[in-house]
Structure 1
Amino acid sequence: MRKQVIYLAVCTFAGHREVFSSSIEADIDCALEEIIQTDDDFIFYSGGMGEFDKKCESAVRRIKRTHPERSIRLVLVLPYLTHEINRDKEYFEAYYDDIVVPTELMGVHYKVAIKKRNRWMVDRADVVLAYIYRDFGGAFDTTRYAYRMGKPVLNLAGKE
């Protein structure tokens, strides 16, 4: 029987703010290496909010350096505009290939904007790389939404 190859081009991250795994960096690196074997062009969406997102962003930057032959883009997806973008413009330009505030979120109340932003990322993703170890919170809700939408979810917390 031949192994089925799934071609992925868009990946997003969903994880709790705190990461308790001592091997999470290696686990993320391994998962990303596997993902990028499926194609040559990738977009990685990050909400940039917690420790897991930051670790995933660092891993994407590493993978971009080790695989210059591939087109790999790291995109920060914000739920709304903040003064921080203008104040720290050089930082954001150095760390991200693009910064997006989805037009669908314009005018959305800030208390629901993060949830809607997370759904926006899932809707566009081919796979969700997750770190979910409890059954509540925004990251849990995001992965539950991904499952309902039929998106593959690679939960790295399940390895523990």
Structure 2
Amino acid sequence: MDVFTVSFFGHRILEEWKDREIEEVIKMLLIKYEYVEFLVGRSGDFDQLVSSTIRRVRREWGSNNSSHTLVLPYLTAEFKNNEEILSKYYSEIEFCEASINAHFKSAYQIRNREMVDRSNLIVCYLKNDFGGVYQTIKYAEKLGKRIINVAMK
């Protein structure tokens, strides 16, 4: 089975909610590809918006041809305290091997690059020309990854 992998990156605080735009992208991918692996984080507004949209679309359309995977940079207190709930919310939960022992300040960027490396498509909410999301998208551009910036829609 061909797996098409999509990673999502966005600012912790959103100026505007782009749930319709994200929903359109998710639906298009589910129609176009045999199986879609959605990789997400859990660090702010964009991550929460993306995950709730993925869950809603998978519930409405069925979830047989997709997975919703939380990729954490390391074991967090939030995960330890909420493992059962999180395990029900996501299809899968992964800990990024490359960042699991890294210093916490660099762990997210290491995790983000690993997610980019395994992705066919990057969906982002990027409005700033600085910060972690900006660095991640620059890395994706350098690799020639296809990028959809929903902040510009």
TM over 0.5: yes
Question: Which residue is 2:21 aligned to?
Answer: 27
Question: Which residue is 2:121 aligned to?
Answer: 127
Gapped regions of structure 1 (runs ≥ 5)? 1-6
- Structure 1 segments (4+ residues) deviating >3 Å: none
How many residues align structurally?
152
Q: 1:82: how far off? A: 1.8
RMSD after superposition? 1.6
Gapped regions of structure 2 (runs ≥ 5)? none
TM-score normalised over the length of structure 2? 0.92
Question: Which residue is 1:12 aligned to?
Answer: 7
- Paired residue for 2:91, among 97, 100, 110? 97
Are residues 1:147 and 2:137 paired?
no
Q: 1:107: how far off? A: 2.1
Q: 1:79: how far off? A: 0.7
Are residues 1:55 and 2:56 paired?
no
TM-score normalised over the length of structure 1? 0.88
Contact 2:3 2:37 in 1 (8 A): no
Q: 1:8: how far off? A: 6.7
- Paired residue for 2:101, among 107, 123, 131? 107
Paired residue type of 2:4: A
CA deviations over 1:33-58 (Å, ceiling 9, x no partner): 11222212111111111111111111
The structure that has the greater radius of gyration is 1
Contact 2:120 2:145 in 1 (8 A): yes
